Structures are given as C-alpha cells and as structure tokens.
Amino acid sequence: MTFLVGGISSAGRAFPDVQGHAFRVTRSAGAYLWHDRGQRYLDTAMGFGATLLGHAPPPVLEAVAQAQAEGPMPSFAHALEEAAAAALAARCGDLSQVIFLNTGSEAVHLACRTARIATGRGRIVKFAAAYDGWYDPVAFGNAQSPAARMTGARPERDGMLLLRYNDFADVERLFAEYDDIAAILMEPVLANAGCLEPAPGYLQYVTDRAHRNGALVILDEVLMGFRLHAGLTGHYLGVDADLTAVSGGQWLAAAATLGDIARLGASAGKVFLLENLNTAVDHPGVPFARAEDTLALIEAVASPYLRLNLDLYHAQIGEGNLIELVRRAGPAIGEIQVADVPGRCEPGTGEIHYLAIARALAKLGYRGVVGLEGWASEGDTERALERFRTAFTV
C-alpha cells in the first residue's frame, strides 16, 4: 500500500494475510464478503455490530437512495430531522431532546461539555478500560493502557478521572476525594474490554452516589444502545441518566425495513410475523430478542400486515411474566407458539402454567393459531399432542 497509512485506516480492522495475500474486501451483500481475489466468505464480524440487517439490504438502499435524491445536506434544518428525533426519543424514556452529530466521539465530547456548563464543575469520571471515543480526554484509560490498571493513586489527566468498574468501595472513595465532579461517564457494558457486564446493582449504586453528590450521569450508548433491547442498555439495567450519547441507527433501520415488508404484505394481502427469540439458551447474539422489544418494533411500524409471533418458550427464558406479556401484546399477536421450559417439550413437562395462559388468551378473545414447536417428551408424539390439547382446552 502506497498512500494509506499502515495499509488500513483503523488498527481494529487489521486482519492477517490469507493464504499469503492481504485480505481486502471488494464488495459485500447479505451475510457475505468477497475479497479482491474473488473468494466469498461468511462475515461473522458484521461491521462489529453496526450492520444489524446484513450488508446492503435492498429496503435500506432504496430508502437511502430516495433520501439522497431529495438532497440530504441543505444548509438549513431538514424536515426529516424532527421525525428521526421523535423515533429515537420514543425509545429513550425521559431523555426526550435529541441533537444529531457526526460521530460517537463528538457526541460524548458534547455531553461532557454540557455537564461541565450545567454543574459549574470541571472533572469528568469514566470507567477504567471503558471505550468512550478517541478525543484525547476520553481516550485516557482505554483498555490495555497503563492507566486502566488503576495501580497506585487514582489516575487523572486533563480533568478526566478513572473509576474502577464494578468496585462499590471505589465509588465511595471517589466522592470522598473529590467534590467538583461534573459527571460520571458511564459505558454500561465495557464493550472493548471483553464485554464486561456490570455487577448486580452496581450501575444503580454509581448513579445514586453521583446524584447525591450533585454530579450528572452520562450514558455512553454508542456501542451498546439498542443492542440488548429496543432502547438504552443503561435504562434496561436500571440507570436514571441525565444525558446520553447513542447510535440509534440500527433501531431506525430495522423499523424502516419492517415498514417496507409490511407494505409488501399489504400489496399481496399477506400478513408477516416477527418472532421473539431468546439469547440465553438457543440464539446468542440475536438483536431485539425479548418479546417486549419485538413488540415495540411492531408497534413502531403500526401496520396490520406485521404482527407478533409470540413464542412463549423464548419469552419465558428471556423475560417471564407471560400472562402480563400476553395481555400487553393482545391485538398485535398473529400467532402463539408454545413449548415448556426447560427442555422445550410439550406443556406439562416444565415450569410454565399453560392453562392459565390459555384462559388469559380466551379472555382477550384470541382466536388465532396456537402451535406446538418443541420435542415430544419420552419420544411419545401422541401423548405430547394430547397434553398440548389439554393445556389449551378452556
């Protein structure tokens, strides 16, 4: 490579040679990549999480082409900005005011400046080993840096302090040491440090101590927003934030794509179903896995040609509280699928009280399909079917 520094624009995208040749992608589509020697590969990186719908999905390309044709960069406000802001704010709880920026680093920088102005204080705190962008202050303490090891005195640079992740006692030490903290910059799951998850109650504990001491809480959701559910990961984990930096593109893209699918259904007189799938046992890595999140997408599209395939087996693993879920989903349900937990066998072999669920469905007036998607316990198909019929006879 003659002109590209180091042969690539980001070290995070570096890849070893393949069969003696540099790996350079020439095109991508769906789940596949093609390198410059013509070989096709299954892409397991998928833009490190950004290409939620696969590479170059036609509905997204069509929407982008239409937006480009209408002139996407006027020097003034664009009519679609408010619509995009409303769609994002609808999934962000009390955080209802939106500003669009170019990068996650820029968004985090603006949030930190806002916190300093709002509080009149100078210091920001981030988790050691968290990734909050590449501007100098927030790049301090990134994963694998010496400062992230937190040895000796608390590291500080340019008004940025480090806090040891999942260390409750260190939170107390922090606020005992400093009374001029403007905000805690909180990446809820440390994505670039191996996807480290917070200890139970830890993020709420940090939030409570911050607010008690007059500091704001900034959620950095650029990597984690809309990944664990249809909204902010911090909210999902119980954080009451004051500001957030979020990349909401995949939620908006998913809703837009499903809208196109619903319009195809309307033109053909067909109803499409969207199913919830659990990530804990059967489908790790599936986005929008909880039934509540799947339902939120369907409600955002608001078309009778897109409905919920409510899989109660997956919902029990993913969230539980099935009767309330059935009542909540009500009119959006297009089909019910059942199997018991654990084991994925017929009703009566696990923990789910299917007769109570059947009564709730009957009370709602549900007359749609109820399907058994599971194994026959003991290998007896007829006995499994009879148990299924009994569970839904009310």
pLDDT tens digits, 178-228: 999 999 999 999 988 888 999 999 999 999 999 999 999 999 988 888 777
Any catalytic annotation for residue 373? yes
Using pLDDT thresholds of 50, 70 and 90, give the confidence band for residue 86.
confident
User: What pLDDT score does 159 carry?
Assistant: 93
Any catalytic annotation for residue 106? no
Using pLDDT thresholds of 50, 70 and 90, give the confidence band for residue 319.
confident
Using pLDDT thresholds of 50, 70 and 90, give the confidence band for residue 358.
very high
pLDDT digits (tens, 9 = 90+) for 91-106: 888 888 888 888 888 9
Does residue 287 surpass a pLDDT of 80? no
Does residue 249 surpass a pLDDT of 70? no
User: What pLDDT score does 308 carry?
Assistant: 92
Using pLDDT thresholds of 50, 70 and 90, give the confidence band for residue 307.
very high
Torsion of CA 141, 143, 145, 147, to 10 degrees: 40
User: What pLDDT score does 5 carry?
Assistant: 80
Does residue 361 surpass a pLDDT of 90? yes
In whole angstroms, give the CA distance from residue 380 to residue 257: 42
What pTM value is reported for the model? 0.67
In whole angstroms, give the CA distance from residue 312 to residue 275: 10
Encode the chain in three state secondary structure. Answer: CCCCHHHCCCHHHCCCCECCECCCEEEEEECEEEECCCCEEECCCHHHHCCCCCECCHHHHHHHHHHHHCCCCCCCCCHHHHHHHHHHHCCCCCCCCCCCCCCHHHHHHHHHHHHHHHHCCCEEEEECECCCCCCHHHHCCECCCHHHHCCCCCCEECCEEEECCCCHHHHHHHHHHCCCEEEEEECCCEHHHCCECCCCCHHHHHHHHHHHCCCEEEEEECCCCCCCCCCCHHHHCCCCCCEEEECCHHHHHHHHHHHHHHHHHHHHCCCEEEECCCCCCCCCCCCCCCHHHHHHHHHHHCCCCEEEEEEHHHHHHHCCCHHHHHHHHHHHEEEEEECCCCCCECCCCCCCCHHHHHHHHHHHCCCCEEEECCECHHHCHHHHHHHHHHHCCC
Q: State the chain's mean pLDDT as an integer.
A: 87
Using pLDDT thresholds of 50, 70 and 90, give the confidence band for residue 17.
confident
Residue 178 amino acid letter = Y
Asked which of 52-61, 160-169, 266-275, 351-360 is least confident by mean pLDDT, the reply is: 52-61
Of 156, 197, 299, 373, which residue is the catalytic one? Answer: 373
Tokens 């749609």 found at = 368
Of residues 324 and 297, which shows the higher confidence score? Answer: 324
Q: Find the mean pLDDT for residues 304-319.
A: 92
Of 156, 197, 275, 299, which residue is the catalytic one? Answer: 275
